[in-house]
Amino acid sequence: MVRKAFTLIELIISILVIGIALMSIPLFLSSSNKSDEFALEQESVLAAKTKIQNITSYKWDENSEESSTGKIRILDTHNGDNELQRFTCPPLPLGFFCWMWNLFFPQGGMMGQAIGDGRREMFSSVTYPNINETNHTNPNDIDDFNNEILIGLSNQESTNLDYLNSSFNMGVRVGFVNDSANYRGSKTISFNFPSVFKASGDSNIKMVEVNVSNVNTPFFLRYYSCNIGESEIRSKLF
């Protein structure tokens, strides 16, 4: 009578196969965890980027808009770079050139600005930004979002949608940064965007900083918005 059974070699091979399979399980679990962590990080980055896009859809400053025309004008600044200040008429006998300037720029222009119809303009009278104002409920410019704290994504959405992590937090800071540079010294301008807010005073550049926490790798995103007004949109009828 022949009795069927595993040979010693078959038994050893089976044990090796089972051992290799068991050793692979932690690797699969680790890969899955890393994939989830990467997805969580990408979600938080996308949420922070979306927040910045939302903030920068508002006006540079609440005083930028001209109420009579709805156009966005360039504002004067108390502490901005001197080369970016309002053009003022020189004393006589150069008054003729100043008159010519005002003919093309009845609303005023910046020093060094090229003369031309429809270009970006300042207000006819000196107008400064409002630097001491926030309004998280009904914002009308980008600095209204300063010091806004968003705790948990679920608090910002009616539902959690498909987010894997709805508990990360975002803190928003908006403020002026130094705008000093040699704007008229050469054909090229070297400017390093600051990473530190000004302690006081205004300038022609505002920085929007969104800090994300309660994630595996906390991070921040920065965006810079400039006091440049808007050019006139020309149209032609055919």
What digits encode the pLDDT tens for the residues 18-54? 777 666 666 555 555 556 566 777 888 888 899 999 9
Q: Among 141, 198, 150, which Cα is nearest to 172's?
A: 150
Q: Which residue(s) pair with 175 in the sheet?
A: 207
Work out the average pLDDT over 128-151. Answer: 88
- Average confidence score pLDDT of the chain: 78
Residue 106's pLDDT is what?
Answer: 56
* Enclosing domain of residue 151: 41-226
State the total domains in the chain: 1
190-194, long-range: CB < 8 A, 24+ apart: 193/222, 193/224
Q: Is residue 66 part of a domain?
A: yes
Q: Among 79, 87, 144, which Cα is nearest to 120's?
A: 87
pTM over 0.75: no
3-state secondary structure of 23: helix
Q: Is residue 26 part of a domain?
A: no
| 5 pLDDT above the threshold of 70 | no
Terminus-to-terminus CA distance in the chain, angstroms? 104
Q: Is residue 17 part of a domain?
A: no
Looking at the chain, the whole-number percentage of residues with pLDDT higher than 70 is: 66
Q: Is residue 32 part of a domain?
A: no
Quote the CA–CA distance of 33 and 30 in Å, as a whole number: 5
Q: Is residue 78 part of a domain?
A: yes
Q: Which residue(s) pair with 218 in the sheet?
A: none
Beta strands in 144-233 (DSSP E): 149-150, 169-177, 205-213, 219-226
| Residue whose entry in the numeric block shows the structure tokens 């990080």 | 41
Quote the CA–CA distance of 65 and 70 in Å, as a whole number: 6
What does the block give as tokens for 198? 């000004």
Q: Among 124, 146, 131, which Cα is nearest to 78's?
A: 131
- How does residue 4 score in pLDDT terms, banded at 50, 70 and 90? low
- How does residue 152 score in pLDDT terms, banded at 50, 70 and 90? low
Quote the CA–CA distance of 97 and 31 in Å, as a whole number: 71
Looking at the chain, the whole-number percentage of residues with pLDDT higher than 90 is: 27
Q: Is residue 34 part of a domain?
A: no
Q: Among 47, 45, 223, which Cα is nearest to 142's?
A: 223
Residue ranges in the chain assigned as alpha helix (H): 8-55, 95-104
| 129 pLDDT above the threshold of 90 | yes
At residue 220, what are phi and psi to the nearest 5 degrees? -140, 155
Q: Is residue 88 part of a domain?
A: yes
Q: Is residue 119 part of a domain?
A: yes
Other Cβ atoms less than 10 A from the Cβ of 189: the count is 10
- How does residue 136 score in pLDDT terms, banded at 50, 70 and 90? confident
Contacts of 44 (CB under 8 A, 6+ apart): 165, 168, 212, 215, 219
85-89, 123-127, 203-207: segment of lowest average pLDDT: 85-89
Quote the CA–CA distance of 107 and 87 in Å, as a whole number: 11
